[in-house]
Structure 1
Amino acid sequence: MRRSGIGRGGTPLTRLRRRLGLERSELRRRVDRVQRVIALALLVLLLGTAPPLAAWAATWSYEAGVRAEDAERANRRQVVATVTATGGIGASGDRYVHETVHATWAGENGENRVGTLPSWKGAKVGAQRRIWVDRDGNPAVRPRPHSRTVTDAAYAGTAAVLGCGLPVLVMYIVVRRRCDRHRDRMWEADWARMDADAGHNPRS
């Protein structure tokens, strides 16, 4: 005859209380239950604050990224640059230099613009390449890609979760250490009581 689930381990609520360490047991001290209750409270606090903050941070970052995408696309355009000379050397910060080419491209009003561009493989006089320019016709980097917006939003959500989780973790560590010290004192008192009882054993 099969036994019921209650016979094997009690009701689901009882088993949950046992796993969480909240049921009464002679082997579990009050400080153990207090620690578990505080841990559960901190967990509930984390679950109640981290997801909304992560959603807000991710949404704010995504919307800001989309606005940046739209602004950069509106202020930049692609033109065809034609190489007029090669073999130049241009400085790029204080750490390194790179090869450049002289090129011309169409400005905002159709006039020819002349400047230097970073060289690329196969660049030679007459070679053409599409480049991004700003409203003034100066070379610019390509507009912000949407993939970067999505990545930044994911980073923002993750940072929000970590920002919420770290203080909660620190609080739990502090509580755990204080409970451990209290348990150590209780064990020392119990051992001292056992030693005292052994020293006054009437059978000795």
Structure 2
Amino acid sequence: MSRLVRGRLFDRNPLRRASDRAETVVLIMLVVVFLMSAPLVALASGAWAHASAQRSELAQAASWHKVTAVTLVAPGPPALGSGNVASEAKAHWIAPDGTSVTGDLPVPYGTEVGATFRVWVTPDGHLVQQPMSDSQVANLTVAAEAGGVVAVAIVVALAGVLTRWLFNKRRMTEWDADWQATGPRWTTHA
């Protein structure tokens, strides 16, 4: 780290080329761009994700309903090696639109026939997970904010890598031209 900083100082070192100083200025500007844009991008991506997740939460809460399902068949044992203690059993429930639905319901192993469970369903009776909670909305917001900052960091890092590559390419071209001019004076042809 100290070597990186030492190579970026604005001093009167005669070996430090103008391209070295220009590269330092560009890298400093990229750090400033990151420090200024990361909070703004975090706020914008967080606000967008929060609004989107909140719309989903409200839509799910408005359209999904909790109904009572009754098991019709005892569940079989869980699949070997799955690590689950839950199985699936045939169950019956009435959809919010009044249709009778029979389907597979995840239940704990050992559930008796006739056991009742409260489940979330769509208006036409398809099983769904429970609607999003406020904490899930908050988690999605934080994840989007972090993702925005990471995206800015990647863009700035790629810009830094590209800058360094372009300056190195230019330095190698200059070095090659200098060597072509200096090399013949050092070598003697006998």
Question: Is this a same-fold pair by TM over 0.5?
Answer: yes
**Residues 38-53 of structure 1: pairs in structure 2 closer than 5 A:** 38-53=26-41
| SS, match of residue 173 in structure 1 | helix
Please identify runs of 4+ aligned residues in structure 1 that moved more than 6 A: none
Aligned match of 1:145: 133
Cα deviation for residue 38 of structure 1 reads: 0.8
State whether structure 2 residue 73 is matched by structure 1 residue 85: yes
Quote the sequence identity (%).
25
**Residues 48-63 of structure 1: pairs in structure 2 closer than 5 A:** 48-63=36-51
- Give the AA of the match of 2:27: A
Find 2:160's aligned residue among 172, 194, 203.
172
| SS, match of residue 85 in structure 1 | coil
Residue segments in structure 2 that go unaligned for 5+ positions in a row: 77-86
Residue segments in structure 1 that go unaligned for 5+ positions in a row: 1-16, 89-98, 200-204
State whether structure 2 residue 100 is matched by structure 1 residue 113: yes
What is the RMSD of the two structures over their aligned residues, measured on CA atoms? Answer: 3.4
TM-score (norm 1): 0.66
Find 1:155's aligned residue among 143, 146, 170.
143
CA distance in 2, matches of 1:19, 1:147: 47
Q: Cα distance 1:194–1:62, how it changes in 2: closer, same or farther (>3 A)?
A: same
Number of corresponding residues: 173
Conserved? CA contact 1:102–1:114, under 8 Å: no
Q: Cα distance 1:84–1:190, how it changes in 2: closer, same or farther (>3 A)?
A: closer
CA distance in 1, matches of 2:160, 2:64: 51
Q: Cα distance 1:115–1:27, how it changes in 2: closer, same or farther (>3 A)?
A: same
Which protein is bigger by CA-based radius of gyration?
Answer: 1
Cα deviation for residue 100 of structure 1 reads: 4.5
Deviates more, 1:17-26 or 1:140-149: 17-26
Conserved? CA contact 2:8–2:21, under 8 Å: no
Find 2:114's aligned residue among 126, 141, 144.
126
Deviations along 1:110-153, one digit per CA (max 9) or x if unpaired, are x6834123242222212121111233444332112334323322
